[in-house]
């Protein structure tokens, strides 16, 4: 008789990929670039790098930009900072800077909670 395989426990990287996909979809669902209004090639553009996991799925930390605007701002970070201040406000800009400097390790349970919250929003 064959033994039934136990379902594999999902890894932290599994939840990270799922959260990335759901969050990006949620942001792109805005339907147009927040800078120029273009509706094609929309991308989720992070203000503080996605490497700062704590802010990776924070709506205040992203814009919905078309590929052209996203590329432009990677080449012109000072103009991007001005866009953040103009569109989101100086208080959000300052909060993002403060939070990005306040790092702590995040475990798989953090990703599971984020994943569940993101699923509810879609």
Reported confidence tier of residue 110, pLDDT bands at 50, 70, 90: confident
Element (H, E) at 68: helix 67-75
Q: Match 């064959």 to its residue by tokens.
A: 2
**Nearest Cα residue to 84 out of 54, 106, 55, 110:** 55
Give tens-digit pLDDT for 78-93.
Answer: 999 999 999 999 999 9
Separation between Cα atoms, residue 16 and residue 26, nearest integer Å: 15
Q: pTM for the whole thing? A: 0.82
Q: Match 């970070």 to its residue by tokens.
A: 77
Where do the DSSP E strands lie in 1-122?
42-46, 62-66
């Amino acid at each position: 008789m064959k033994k039934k395989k136990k379902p594999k426990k999902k890894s932290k990287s599994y939840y990270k990929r799922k959260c990335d996909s759901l969050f990006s979809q949620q942001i792109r669902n805005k339907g147009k670039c927040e800078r120029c209004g273009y509706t094609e090639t929309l991308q989720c553009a992070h203000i503080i790098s996605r490497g700062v996991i704590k802010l990776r799925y924070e709506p205040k930390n992203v814009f919905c930009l078309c590929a052209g605007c996203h590329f432009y701002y990677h080449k012109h970070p000072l103009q991007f900072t001005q866009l953040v201040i103009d569109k989101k406000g100086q208080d959000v800009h300052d909060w993002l800077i403060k939070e990005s400097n306040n790092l702590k390790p995040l475990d798989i349970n953090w990703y599971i909670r984020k994943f569940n919250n993101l699923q509810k929003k879609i």
